[in-house]
Amino acid sequence: MAEDLLKKYDRQVPRYTSYPTAPHFHEGVAGETYGEWLGALGNDDTLSLYFHVPFCAEMCWFCGCHTKVTRKYEPVVGYVSSMHRELDLVSAALKAQPKVTSVHWGGGSPTMLKPDDFTQLMQALREKFNLAEDAEIAVEIDPRTLAADFIEALVASGVNRVSLGVQDFDDTVQQAINRVQPYEMVAKVVEDLRAAGIKAFNFDLIYGLPYQTAESIIRTVDLAMKLQPDRLSVFGYAHVPWMKTHQRMIKDETLPDTAQRFELAELLANQLISHDYDRIGLDHFAKADDAMQVAHAGGTLRRNFQGYTTDSASALIGIGASSIGYLPQGYVQNQVPLKTYMDAMNAGDLATARGIALSDQDKIRGRIIEELMCQLKVDLADFGEADLYATELGALQPLAEDGLVKVQGSKVQVTEKGRPFMRLACAVFDAYLKPEPKRYSKAI
């Protein structure tokens, strides 16, 4: 019974977009270490760049991202200069010219930038880094703030993938999350982007929002299908009002309970599968010819801070406040407060606030967790003697008894029934995880 399993496993676990997870980063890793790690990259390495734009026109009550509402453009101007400064500092710290194979703009809302600011940052990137001709350049789009001249800037800058924050098409739900964007508005944005030459579309949908019902989810999927995205990310609403105080605007009694959330998630998944989307990992769906499904089928799918990714670069460079990067030696995160980040840039210092150097053990456990998250299976024999993992194999037993994983010798497979619970299987391999109430969102 799904309900019994939900009760039994109703606990908080990380989303494993990194291992070790961000709460284990520490201040011992700062700008100096980051500079050394950048300097050690060679010409054979490949880079991915992530730009974080922490501004939005209005706060969506559900939002869990690092962002700030601003009505004036003035704070953005200073921030854009800081991003330019950071591109200078990072490129100066590199001793080689690794190819940049992927660029991702997220936030917040990159669509808050003036088109010229966006174009100039992309121009600076091309001048200072070795951008591959076939690089994927993706931008997250808030359909409510996408202006026509921004579309021109996207196309002129070589953007070839967009991700639209759709969330839910139901009016009652949209009102309750303070994000009103009727279907017609989203359809127009898609139409305009397609007309401008953008071919690859991702939609973000969320289940577990206030007032969502089976009917509203079915309607949302039907409307989304009319717009034919190649890929969808389907997130469970992470309700963490003790961390994100604006989420208090969403009253607990309007939220689906754990069992209802589970049903909505499965309904959404089944609806998408019935429309010929393949299910990828925990929360992605893609058409057979979409790059993510191709990577999934070919076993090259990866997981990073943006979630699942086709990006296989050996290093990720985060530009902007709160951005997280990884290098072969470890993870780094920039200062989160805008002022602290901008002060560091003005002083000509890398803005690393914290990070973690990876031990060999961390790297191995990270790979095991990533394989489970991406492929739903792992052979521990690929990572040393299976009896090294006797404790973990023992800890998987209750999950195996409930049919959520299958363990055969050194091979661990998350079953279809276990797919929504896969983070629990990963947690077994997390050597840092101690029960700490109210740090992560629910496992389901």
- Residue 59 contact among ligand SAM, ligand SF4, none, beta carbon within 5 to 8 Å by kind: ligand SF4
Q: Does 60 bind ligand SF4 (CB under 6 A)?
A: yes
Distance, CA of 11 to CA of 2 (rounded, Å): 15
Interaction with ligand SF4 in 30-59: which residues (CB under 6 A)? 56, 59
Nearest approach, Cβ of residue 118 and ligand SAM (Å): 14
Regarding 136 and contact with ligand SAM (CB under 6 A), the answer is: no
Query: Which of 35, 98, 107, 330 touches ligand SF4 (CB under 6 A)?
Result: 107
Q: How many residues form the binding site for ligand SAM (CB under 6 A)?
A: 17
For residues 214 and 222, give the distance between their C-alpha atoms in angstroms, rounded to a whole number. Answer: 12
State the Cα–Cα distance between residues 90 and 318, nearest whole angstrom: 10
For 326, the token pair is: 């990884």
Query: 256 is in the binding site of which of ligand SF4, ligand SAM, none (Cβ under 5 to 8 A by kind)?
Result: none
State whether residue 102 is helix, strand or coil.
Answer: strand
Handedness of CA 442, 247, 222, 261 (dihedral sign): positive
Cα separation, 230 vs 285, in Å, equals 8
Minimum Å distance from CB 197 to ligand SF4? 25
Answer for the pair 264, 214: CB distance below 8 angstroms, yes or no.
yes
- 77's CB contacts (< 8 A; 6+ apart) are 117
| Residue from 155, 225, 238, 291 binding ligand SAM (CB under 6 A) | 238
Alpha-carbon gap, residue 62 to 241, rounded angstroms:
9
- Do residues 53 and 108 touch, judged by C-beta distance below 8 A? yes
Candidate residues 142, 230, 311, 392; the one interacting with ligand SF4 per rule CB under 6 A: 142
Residue number, 73 or 432, with CB nearest to ligand SAM: 73
Task: Give the closest residue to 161 by CA, choosing from 73, 231, 235, 99.
Answer: 231
CB of 241 to ligand SF4, least distance (A): 15
Stretch that binds ligand SAM, among 190-198, 233-241, 314-322, 399-407 (CB under 6 A): 233-241
Q: Is 63 in the site for ligand SAM (CB under 6 A)?
A: yes
Tell me how long the chain is: 444
The option from ligand SF4, ligand SAM, none interacting with 169 (CB < 5 to 8 A, set by class) reads: none
Residue 290 touches which of ligand SF4, ligand SAM, none (CB < 5 to 8 A by kind)?
none
Q: What's the min distance (Å) between Cβ of 387 and ligand SAM?
A: 39
| CB-neighbour burial class of residue 129 (10 A; exposed 0-12, middle 13-18, buried 19+) | buried
**Helix H segments across 40-114?**
74-93
Residue 62 in contact with ligand SAM, rule: CB under 6 A: yes
Q: Sketch the per residue contact string, 66 through 105, with ligand SF4: x for CB under 6 A, - otherwise.
A: -x--------------------------------------
236 contributes a contact to ligand SF4 by CB under 6 A: no
Residue in the shown chain whose Cβ atom is closest to ligand SAM = 165
Cα distance between residue 361 and residue 376, in whole Å: 21
Does 64 participate in binding ligand SAM (rule CB under 6 A)?
Answer: yes
Q: Supply the DSSP string of 145-194, one letter for each residue.
A: G--HHHHHHHHHTT--EEEEEEE---HHHHHHTT----HHHHHHHHHHHH
Instruction: Read off the amino acid at residue 168.
Output: D
Asked if residue 53 binds ligand SAM (CB under 6 A), the reply is no
Identify which of 325, 260, 345, 274 has the alpha carbon closest to the alpha carbon of residue 82. Answer: 345
**Binding flag, residue 54, ligand SAM (CB under 6 A):** no
Q: Where are the alpha helices (DSSP H) in 236-337?
A: 258-274, 291-297
Strands 161-167 and 200-207 turn out to be parallel
User: Closest approach of Cβ 163 to ligand SF4, in Å?
Assistant: 11
Cα gap 293→146, rounded to integer Å: 28
Q: Using the rule CB under 6 A, is 65 a contact of ligand SF4?
A: yes
Q: Is 107 in the site for ligand SAM (CB under 6 A)?
A: yes
Comparing CB distances to ligand SAM, the nearer of 323 and 410 is 323
Q: Tell me if 320 contacts ligand SF4 by CB under 6 A.
A: no
Nearer to ligand SF4, 40 or 238 (CB): 238
- Report if residue 204 touches ligand SF4, rule: CB under 6 A: no
> DSSP assignment, residue 389?
G
When asked if residue 169 is in the footprint of ligand SAM (CB under 6 A), the reply is: no
Contact status: 249 vs ligand SF4 (CB under 6 A): no
Considering only 14, 31, 54, 106, the residue that binds ligand SAM (CB under 6 A) is 106
* Contact predicate 275/229, CB 8 Å: no
* Positions that interact with ligand SF4 (CB under 6 A): 56, 59-60, 63, 65, 67, 107-109, 142, 165
Residues that bind ligand SAM (CB under 6 A): 62-65, 106-109, 140, 142, 165, 167, 204, 206, 235, 237-238
